[in-house]
Each structure stands twice: as structure tokens, then as C-alpha cells.
Structure 1
Amino acid sequence: MVLAARAVVSALLALAVLGCGAKTVRRTVSDDGGIQIILRGQTQGGKPIDRGFQHPATISGVRLAHLLSRIDIRTEEENKNDRTPAIPGELLYDVGDGLSKGLAQADSSQEIVVMAKRRARHLGVFTEDYLTSFVAFVREDRLYIYLSRVDWLIPKNPNEPVTEPKIDKPVMKFHVLPSEAMQSVGPQAIAADWRDPIFRQPTAVRVTATGKVVRRTILMESAPDKPAAGTPEAQEDNVVGGNLSPETLRKLADLEEARRRGELTEGEYSARKRSILLADPSASPAAPPPPTPDPSPGH
């Protein structure tokens, strides 16, 4: 009898401990047109667990679409010069709008789960659905994107469930290729300086007259727009290289070699070159050309 009572008490204590554990909670922000946006967090004792996210965050859908368009991946089957968009072009702006809504409604305990489907028709009859999914959040003024599935063929078997993306839980074999104003924070994740001016314009895609979003025909990556005068980017073009230190010259040579091997995008190359040049105290801005004298009156 005593043993039975102890067993009951132990079971109740175990249930109490389980009840105090973290519980995952979800709230669907939108589920329209194949784009599902979910806010996901954890609670303990009925209270949200603060994860330090800078939410709510206000970022326009267009800016987010431009940012997402500059993320590429490379699979194991592709050669070193191949690049595949992380987000299919036809989904870009809808995903950007959905992510914008999620960031605006999330709190500091919630990450944004994005699951975007597209449908492709084959032979005019058969259709197949493809899934792209990732997790996003803002922390320390940077937007973090953890990719999960990229244009993955969804099984038609209903017994094969489509799972939500999770941070650092890879389900596909690829690695991310970040571009300018973003850095890799893992094999399949990037952190982007989302306020960077490069995300104002669609530098990696263009919209046709019919409204179709297509990828630009480019080598590696579109060259960024010419920087405005007076910016750090513009100063790079005016650095005199004749008096650079041996260490800087070595770093530049290594950078050029990495570029030739296809290990860098043009954006990464430009950013690293600028950083190397501006860090060298022996590099000095070139003197501006002397002004052209105005012709004397009467000549």
C-alpha cells in the first residue's frame, strides 16, 4: 500500500515537472496564396521566454524582397560557379510582404517562420508543389535568415508530413552564398545589415512589363550601383596604391586569387577590398585634378 502511494506521488511529481517545462506556442499571422507566416516562441509557466529579438520591427516588404533576392545557395551537385536563388523569383515579393507582416507583429520572444509554396505545371496537365521555408528574426539591428528548404518538391503522399523549419536543423544539403551587406553565420544562414542602401533597389532581379519577376543575366552577381561621392565606397576608387604596405599587398593578392577561384561574389570582393585599403595607414586618397581655368574673355 505504501509503495503504491509512493508511486502515485512520484507520478504526480513527474507530471508537475513536465508541466513546468518550456512549451512551444504558435500564432499564424497569415496563410494566403501559398505563403504561410507563423510566429513561434516558447512559454514557461504560462509566460513567454524572452529571446532578445528586436521585435516588433518595421521593414517594408519591398526592401525585404530585394534583400532576399540577393541570397543564393549552392548544392553538392552544382559546380563552384553555379548559384541558385534561395527564394524563387515568383515568390519574392509575396514572401517579402509576409515577412514584413510577421516582423511587425512579433514580440521579443517570437521568431518568424516562413513557409512558401509554388505550383508548377508539367506537360500542361500534371502539377507539382514546391516548398521554400526559413526562420527569421531581428537582433542587434541585423536580420537573420536561417534557410531550411529551397524549392523542395513536396511529396504527394499525405503520410509524409511537411515539417516546419528550425534553426540549425538542416534537412537539405546546400550552403548559403551571401552577397554584399550580409555575412554567413552558418552553413545555411546569413545575417544582413537590412538598413544598407543596396536593398533599396532590385539589384539581383527585375520585373518585366508583364509583372513577372526574373533573375538578371549576370556573371556571379550584378555589380552594385556606382556609389555616391563622399561615401566610403566612393573613396575606394581614389586610393593611391603605389605606397601600400607589403602586408596590404599580400592581402590584396590573396583576395584576387580567391576571386579568380570563384569563392567570392563581386559584392564580397568589393567590400573586402575596400576594408583592406582603408585599413592601411599608408594608403592615401588621390589628390583631385586641378580645376580647368576658365577661358579669358575675348579668347
Structure 2
Amino acid sequence: MDERLNRPKGFGEILDLTFSLSKNKLRDFFFISLIFMGPIYLIQALISLASGVSFFREFGVGEAWHEKIISSFDGTESVSLGTTLVGITSFFLFPVASAATLLVVNRIRKNEAYTIISAIKQAFSRYGPIIGSSILFSLITIGLIFVSVMIVIFIFIAAAASSSTIGVVLGITLSLTIAIGIAYLLTRWSFYFGSAVLGEGSPGFTRSWKLTRNRGWPLIGLYIIFSLIIGVINVTIEFTFGMFLGNSVLLSMIISLASIFTTMIFSVGYAVMYLDLKVRHDADDLKEMIEDYNVVQ
């Protein structure tokens, strides 16, 4: 058991613990993600293969080799179908993988024995609250983004009508402020998932808001760091292999494996972040109970 899971951690320590757990338990965490994500990506690859996309190398039209490679990435009906399939199915299956990962990390924190099957079974036992909360969170996110886009459009229309530099600067400033505000709210609510998985309340938004008190900005920073790491890995792999394979089925499978790996890292990172918040919150509650007891005495 890593004792760091049972005490509050700093920004860098959370990152270090995430990668340490990902390395030490790579087989377990990767297998959990592979069970749920692998079959979906395999079906996507089979759809592309059946539609005539080359397995090893796919070239489009053009005279130079780089023109052929670039043109091979033009959208096709089969790719759209595969992407839609992954998008819909992943929403209902991928959260179970993240839930099982969180449960494993929590058992490691408690120094309890676990098996991958037992973690997956426990995750499925919380399937209703997990999916219900995720749907509600998605609707809230869409609503906030829609309203914000409408406000931003209105601001820029008003700024353009005023034909003044001050109006444009004010419009940009207000737009950035709105975007930061949305990021802050969604971050404060985003730990509903851990609450739903561990049975600490669903949809869990109130619980998440309490857990993230005074931790909003560091958590946003952690989300940004994880997103940058994942983005760099995915872009590097797609660009490097895409130069030689084009938009082939093999490339899509390599990208899918990279996606499974990066999703695993993010899931472990989220688990570490949630359990860190839980430890901090439980410690604060204990301090309040001790203070109340001393006052009574």
C-alpha cells in the first residue's frame, strides 16, 4: 500500500503518485480499460476494413507522397459510422472501466485484496447511479456551453456594432471570463463520478462541491496537465505512424491502443485526485468533531 493515498498530497505529488501507480499496476489497469474499450475499437476497425480501407497502408490521390498521405484522411461514410458507434457505446461502457479503476485504487489505499473481476462486478453494481449522474452532468455541460455561446455571440455582435476597440477588448475579456467560469464550475462538480461509484451519494454534485472546497484552481491545473500529456501522446503517435501508414486500419488500431493507455492514465489520475479530496474532507470533518467535543467538554 502506498501511504501517500491516505494523506493530503500536493500538486506534484498527485502527478507522481498517478504515474507510479500506473507503472506498478500497469497490467491490471490496462486490462480493465482494454476489456471495455478494446472490443469497441475492434468493431470500428472491422467496419473500416469491410468498407475497403487498406489494413497496412492507405493512400489517397496526389502526385507527391505527402499529398497522398494527407488526402487519405478525408472523411468517409465508414469512418463516420465507426466514430458514431464508438461515441455512443463508449458513453455507456467506458465509465464502467473508470469506475473499476477507482475501486481498485481505493482498495489499494485500504490495503485490501482485489481481483479485476471483483472490481468490475462492483462497478456494474453501481451502473445505474453512474450512468444517471453522467447523463445529468452531460446535460448540465451542454446547457452551460450553449448559454455561454449565445452570450459570447451577443457580446461580439454588440462590440462589432459599437465599432470601438474598447468594445472588442471588453468582449474578448468577458468571453474568457465566461470560459474560465464554466471550467471552474464543471471542475467543482466533476467529482460526482467518484461519489456515485463509491456509493457516497448520487448524482453527487453536492458532495463534489463540498469535496472541492478551496481546491478548485489546483484541480483545474491538474486537469490541464493530464489533458496536455494525453494530447501530446495521441498527437505524436498519430502523426508519426500516419506519415507511413496513411489513414489505414492499422493506424486506427495503433491510435486506439494509445487511447486505451492514455484513458487508463487519466482514470488513475482521477482516482488519485478524488481519494485525495476524500482524505482532506474526512480530515476536516474529524477536526470539526474534535473541536465540537472540546467545546462541549
Give the structure with the higher percent strand. Answer: 1
TM-score by length of 1: 0.23
* Larger-Rg structure: 1
Which structure has more RCO (C-alpha within 8 Å, separation ≥ 6)?
Answer: 2
TM-score by length of 2: 0.23
Give the structure with the higher percent helix. Answer: 2
